[in-house]
Structure 1
């Protein structure tokens, strides 16, 4: 199979920005390790979700803001056995905000001199740099291992919980990646299984909230707070094989252990009796597609994606439950470069929040560009 065909399949799935689990952005792929020789790769994805619902008859409008997903990677072959890659991506993220009229944006304890004019919102930015080694054994087998450094930053406001907000500082912590792969290049067959460890962040910041008003009104207070948050462990199973001349079938299964991710700041739990963010169920995300090489220079691919709904109650800060998607991608090759583009439509599953909000009829459009350049 030509490089253009493989690139078209990759961008069809990965360069358009994921919406799995509501927070999954990059998919934590390591496919650059399987590129030939020395290469550099640049990705830019853009997603425009439309997620709306209502609570107590009050509409939310679109609560999910659009976002960009950049990526940069470099791969170097030391010899026929040993490869190295470094990858920058944004594995997880959130950008949700509600209107001021929404019930959870209303502060029941707002008083003179102590009003929090914020709205229900959550922003989370997670950046990661992953350094990987791949060693090739005889028989097409190889081992993968590496270290991931991850920076996490977040900000949350829940005015309905006594004007609550939490603004922890950014934290950098580390995890690891291990995996195995098998290849048979003559038929473009490959299977890889990669495990991404959880990463624990210890946030220190200020929790801000109203005290219940006594006879003399008490304004907002800001209390230093520390809390631990884990980004979840995950497993990626990727596969591909040639099935006919110029035709490739590919797919993936991604498992994410979302119940590991719990945000439970001390004062928020004391005010509400519940966690700020948690998940009841893990998720499995499935992708299946086919690519075709139309010419020496151009290849195209189509893929479908599916994440089953869990039917569990979800957080208002991530009001989605499962999805299905359809993606198209294409790659044009010339000399040492491949330029790829993709577009994907995602039908986002209906969800019920822990406070009784109903979200339905939602979707997202995503586009992506990728440039891969061979250095040798």
Structure 2
């Protein structure tokens, strides 16, 4: 009962991070380290958001492109007390593209030879996390590990004199530390993990049109700056509450004000950062799982992220959400096959430029296979 329920629950809980904080993709979960024995795990999620707003009476169109959230992991029991896991995921990302007639997609220098384009941004992080878990006694264990993260992206802001930046891929490092407590007799577990920030020292190529009375032309400069993916804390819990029934949930805090992107040329043009945040976020989930047969278990989850009420970046025009998800797991010999679907109601937001985004939502689906190696 315990193992199948955990698979169904992990898929549903993991999916709630699909639109958390606007850029938070994977939720940086570590449930794999708690699997019994040695296993390999593959998960793939797909999210189809519908996010639109208006600025000055002009519709933005659906600015959020669909995206995948992959996860690949291997966990091995080294000894009775020591476990090892290595995982790949994409913890943060963005993929937005506005309509051509949107005010921020219009280049004010275009009558004098400015280049055309639309307001858009693409960013991706790829992370590999290696973890060790040492079981102490009385159900307690200590967790620690290293994260290697790669960042790349590009942004176009036509309204800022046709501005564009292309970020060279950069690799930097962070760490994970945590503690956990388990009581297998009642399927109880509580884990608390801290994910450090990762500071990327990036090189980029920035370009923009010169603004009259300077003669028209393209300015291209290679510059350096820093981008931080923020620190976070995850609290995950579960416990059996009745025969074949598991209650589970999580709380995730992300320190978004740490994330500032201020490329020098853009700051010189606008006297503002390209991306920053005023508030951190808290994301909550709660679910109930039930073992229907020896082979099949199902779960339902609800999720909630508090809205901040602050203005947000036009590159991430969301503020909070609530969600509901359904998932199930079927056991076939050594394999646990899971699937799930989630609906997210995305919170209304006002952007820094005064655009109003409301009535937005997203659908997510996911598929996971966990295979026991022993």
Range into which the TM-score falls when normalised by the shorter chain: over 0.9
Instruction: Tell whether the 8 Å contact from 1:17 to 1:46 is kept in structure 2 after alignment.
Output: no
Question: Tell me, which stretches of 5 or more residues in structure 1 are unaligned?
Answer: none
Post-superposition Cα deviations, 1:218-273, rounded to whole Å, max 9, x if no partner, equal: 21111111110000000000000000000000000000000000000111111111
Instruction: Tell whether the 8 Å contact from 1:141 to 1:182 is kept in structure 2 after alignment.
Output: yes
CA shift at 1:15, angstroms? 4.6
Instruction: Tell whether the 8 Å contact from 1:81 to 1:136 is kept in structure 2 after alignment.
Output: yes
Other-structure match for 1:12: 12
Q: How far apart, in 1, do the equivalents of 2:226 and 2:244 lie?
A: 50
Instruction: Tell whether the 8 Å contact from 1:209 to 1:221 is kept in structure 2 after alignment.
Output: yes
CA shift at 1:107, angstroms? 0.7
Question: Tell me, which stretches of 5 or more residues in structure 2 are unaligned?
Answer: none
SS at match of 2:61: coil
CA shift at 1:206, angstroms? 1.1
Other-structure match for 1:58: 58
Post-superposition Cα deviations, 1:70-115, rounded to whole Å, max 9, x if no partner, equal: 1100000011100000000000000000011000000111244x42
Instruction: Tell whether the 8 Å contact from 1:198 to 1:232 is kept in structure 2 after alignment.
Output: yes
Q: How far apart, in 1, do the equivalents of 2:59 and 2:286 lie?
A: 36
Other-structure match for 1:89: 89
SS at match of 1:64: coil
Instruction: Tell whether the 8 Å contact from 1:15 to 1:369 is kept in structure 2 after alignment.
Output: no
- Counting only pairs closer than 5 Å after superposition, residues 1-376 of structure 1 correspond to structure 2 as 1-15=1-15, 18-112=18-112, 114-214=113-213, 217-376=215-374
Q: How far apart, in 2, do the equivalents of 1:2 and 1:274 lie?
A: 52
Alpha carbon RMSD of aligned pairs, Å?
1.0
Q: How far apart, in 2, do the equivalents of 1:164 and 1:110 lie?
A: 12
Q: How far apart, in 2, do the equivalents of 1:110 and 1:369 lie?
A: 46
Q: How far apart, in 2, do the equivalents of 1:15 and 1:83 lie?
A: 25
Instruction: Tell whether the 8 Å contact from 1:15 to 1:370 is kept in structure 2 after alignment.
Output: no
Q: TM-score, normalised by structure 2?
A: 0.99
Q: After the TM superposition, which segments of 4 or more aligned residues of structure 1 sit over 2 Å from their partners?
A: none
Post-superposition Cα deviations, 1:158-207, rounded to whole Å, max 9, x if no partner, equal: 00011101101010000000000000001000000000000000111111
Q: How far apart, in 2, do the equivalents of 1:348 and 1:320 lie?
A: 7
Instruction: Tell whether the 8 Å contact from 1:16 to 1:46 is kept in structure 2 after alignment.
Output: no
Instruction: Tell whether the 8 Å contact from 1:17 to 1:45 is kept in structure 2 after alignment.
Output: no
Q: How far apart, in 2, do the equivalents of 1:334 and 1:110 lie?
A: 61
- Equivalent residues, number: 374
CA shift at 1:64, angstroms? 0.1
